Amino acid sequence: MAQNQRLRSLPSVDRVLNAPELSGLVGQYGAQACKLAAQGELARLRKALRDGDGDVEALVSGADFQGRLYTAVQRKLAAEFSASLKPVFNLSGTVVHTNLGRSALPAEAVEAMATAAGACNLEYDLEAGHRGDRDHHLEATLCELTGARAATVVNNNAAAVLLVLNTLATGREVVISRGELVEIGGSFRMPEIMQSANCILRETGTTNRTHLRDYENAINERTALLMKVHTSNYEVRGFTNSVSGQELSQLARENGLPFVHDLGSGTLVDLVRYGLPHEPTVNEALAEGVDLVTFSGDKLLGGPQAGIIVGGRELVDRVRRNPLKRALRVDKITIAALREVLNLYKDPQRLSSRLPMLADLTRSAAEILALGERLLKPVAEAFGPAACVALTECNSQIGSGALPLERLESTALQLTPIAEKGGKDAALQLLAGRLRELPRPVIGRIRDGGLLLDLRCLRDEEEFVAQLREVV
Ligand SMILES: *Cc1c(COP(=O)(O)O)cnc(C)c1O
C-alpha cells in the first residue's frame, strides 16, 4: 500500500466515535474528551505514516487495525481520567521524602479534610454570625503547644520566610551569618528569598566561624532585623563558631531590632524523648528570646504542607496585615488537617503511635527485621529467576533536611538482578522500573549493585506481597 492510500484508509473522527465498540465511552467521559482523544490518536498515526514509521504502516494495513485503534483511544481516555497522584510504597529509606509527599497524614487528619471539603465556617464566626478569621482555627493550639503569644499559618515555610522578611525588612538590610546562607532542595536559597522579599542581604562572619562582634559590626541605620537560619541539611564541622540564639536576642533587643529564626523542620517536642537525636524545638527557640520563629508543617511536625509563624502579638499582627499574606494563605483542607495533627501533640505519650511520621521514625530495628524475615520468602518467590533476594542491614534517614547526619538502623530487602543483559546497571534500572510500574508503585534505592527496599515505612504488608505477583 502506498503512503497516500494508507493515510486515506484511516477512519474519520466521527466514525471512530460512532463505532459500537466505543459506545460506552461518550457516556463515561463526555463527547468532547472522546473527540479529542480520537483526534489525537488519528493525528499521531497520520504523522507516523508521513514519517514512514514501519511499525505503524504494518499496524494500519493489518486486519485487526480498527480493534487496535479503538483500544488505543480507550486507553488514552482511561489514562487521562485516572488519578495522577498515586499512593506508593516509600521504601526509599528516607522517611520524610519531599518527592514522595513528605509526611503521611494520620487518619484523623484525613477524615477532617473530607469534613471540611464542603461548605464550612472557614472564615465565619458562628456565634456572632459574621466574618471571622481563618487563623482562628489554629492559633490557640499553636500558642498552647509552643508557648508563643500569637501564630499564623501560610502555604509553606518558604512562604513564611518570604512573608516575614517582606513585612519587617522591605528595602532594608537583614543581617545573617555566612555559615547560614542555606539552599534547601528545589530552589529555596536564602539569598534569593531575600531578593524576592525585597530585602538587602547583609552577610556577616565567615562560612565556618561567625562571632557576636560580626553581628555588632554589621548593624547600621539600614538594618531591619537579625536573622538566624537552622542549617538543616548540612553541618559545618571542625573549627567552627556560631552565635547562640540567646546572645542574638539580646543584641537585637539592645539595638531595638526584631530577631527572626527560621527553624526549618521545627519540631514541637524534644525528639530525644522518643529515642531520636535532638533537633531544636520551637519552644526552645522562643525561650531564647526570638521574636518570630518560622517552620514547616510537613517536615518533623508530620502534618500537611504549611508554613507556621509564631511569636509576639505585635509582630504577628504586622505579618498578617501584609497584602502578601492573602496571596500565601492556606486553604480549609490544610487547616483541617493541621488542626488534627496539632491536637495529637497535646498527648505526647501516645504521639509516637498516632502520628505516622513519628511511628516510622521510632519503629524498632527488631520489628523491621521481623517484617523482613516474614517477607523474604514470598518476595524471593515472586522474583523467581529474575533476581536474588536477601535481607541486609541498612540505615534509614529522617529526610527533608532534618538531622542529615543521623542514621536509623533498619533492614532492607536487597534485590540483585540475575540476568545482566546490557550490563549490571541496565538490569538494575530495569528492575527498579518494573517495581515502579506496579499498581501501587514501589520506590527503593540503588546501593552496591542491588536495589534496596528499606522496610521501615512498609505498613501494608499484605497488599505489598499480593501485587508482587504481577512483577515478573
Ligand atoms: C525546609 C526548609 C525551608 C523551606 O520549607 P518548606 O516548608 O519546604 O517551604 C526553609 N528553611 C529551612 C531552614 C528549611 O529547612
* Atom 2 of ligand 1, nearest CA residue: 264
Which helix or strand (DSSP H or E) is residue 351 part of? helix 348-354
222: left (phi over 0), alpha (psi -120 to 50) or beta: alpha
What does the angle CA 131 – CA 137 – CA 139 come to, to the nearest 5 degrees? Answer: 110
Q: Is 205 helix (H, G, I), strand (E, B) or coil?
A: coil
pTM, two decimal places: 0.92
> What are the backbone angles phi and psi of residue 152, rounded to the nearest 5°?
-145, 160
Contact (CB, 8 A) for 209 and 180: no
- Taking the C-alpha atoms of residue 261 and residue 9, their distance in angstroms, rounded to an integer, is 69
Taking the centre of ligand 1 as the mean of its atom positions, its distance from the CA of residue 158, in whole angstroms, is 6
* Atom 11 of ligand 1, nearest CA residue: 264
Place of cell 503511635: 353
pLDDT in tens, 364-411: 999 999 999 999 999 999 988 889 999 999 999 998 766 666 789 999
pLDDT in tens, 254-300: 999 999 999 998 899 999 999 998 889 999 999 999 999 999 999 99
Contact (CB, 8 A) for 320 and 152: yes
* Atom 3 of ligand 1, nearest CA residue: 264
Taking the centre of ligand 1 as the mean of its atom positions, its distance from the CA of residue 242, in whole angstroms, is 20
pLDDT in tens, 121-156: 999 999 999 999 999 999 999 999 999 999 999 999
Ligand 1 touching residue 182 (CB < 6 A):
yes
Q: For residue 449, name the pLDDT band (cuts at 50, 70, 90).
A: confident
Contact (CB, 8 A) for 302 and 139: no
Ligand 1 nearest atom to the CA of residue 232, by list position = 15
What average pLDDT does the segment 38-65 reach?
Answer: 93
What average pLDDT does the segment 110-115 reach?
Answer: 98
Ligand 1 pocket test, candidate residues 161, 184, 192, 309, most atoms within 8 A of CB = 184
- Average pLDDT value for the chain: 93
Ligand 1 touching residue 416 (CB < 6 A):
no
Taking the centre of ligand 1 as the mean of its atom positions, its distance from the CA of residue 299, in whole angstroms, is 9
Ligand 1 touching residue 358 (CB < 6 A):
no
- Taking the C-alpha atoms of residue 357 and residue 268, their distance in angstroms, rounded to an integer, is 14
- Taking the C-alpha atoms of residue 294 and residue 232, their distance in angstroms, rounded to an integer, is 13
Ligand 1 touching residue 296 (CB < 6 A):
yes
* Atom 7 of ligand 1, nearest CA residue: 157
Ligand 1 pocket test, candidate residues 102, 157, 161, 301, most atoms within 8 A of CB = 157
User: H helices of 10-153, where?
Assistant: 13-18, 23-29, 31-50, 54-61, 65-81, 107-116, 136-146
- Taking the C-alpha atoms of residue 207 and residue 179, their distance in angstroms, rounded to an integer, is 4
Contact (CB, 8 A) for 192 and 165: no
What does the angle CA 444 – CA 447 – CA 450 come to, to the nearest 5 degrees? Answer: 80
**Domain architecture of the chain: domains with CATH:** 2-81 (no CATH), 89-97+361-470 (3.90.1150.180), 107-354 (3.40.640.10)
Ligand 1 nearest atom to the CA of residue 160, by list position = 9
Ligand 1 nearest atom to the CA of residue 233, by list position = 15
| Alpha-carbon distance values, 239 to 179, 210, 233, 325, 399 (Å) | 12, 11, 19, 41, 26
Whole-number CA gyration radius for the chain: 28
pLDDT score of 471 more than 80: no
Tell me which residue of 265, 264, 348, 307 sits closest to 135, measured CA to CA: 307
Taking the centre of ligand 1 as the mean of its atom positions, its distance from the CA of residue 196, in whole angstroms, is 16
Ligand 1 touching residue 232 (CB < 6 A):
yes
Handedness of CA 209, 213, 217, 220 (dihedral sign): positive
Ligand 1 touching residue 160 (CB < 6 A):
no
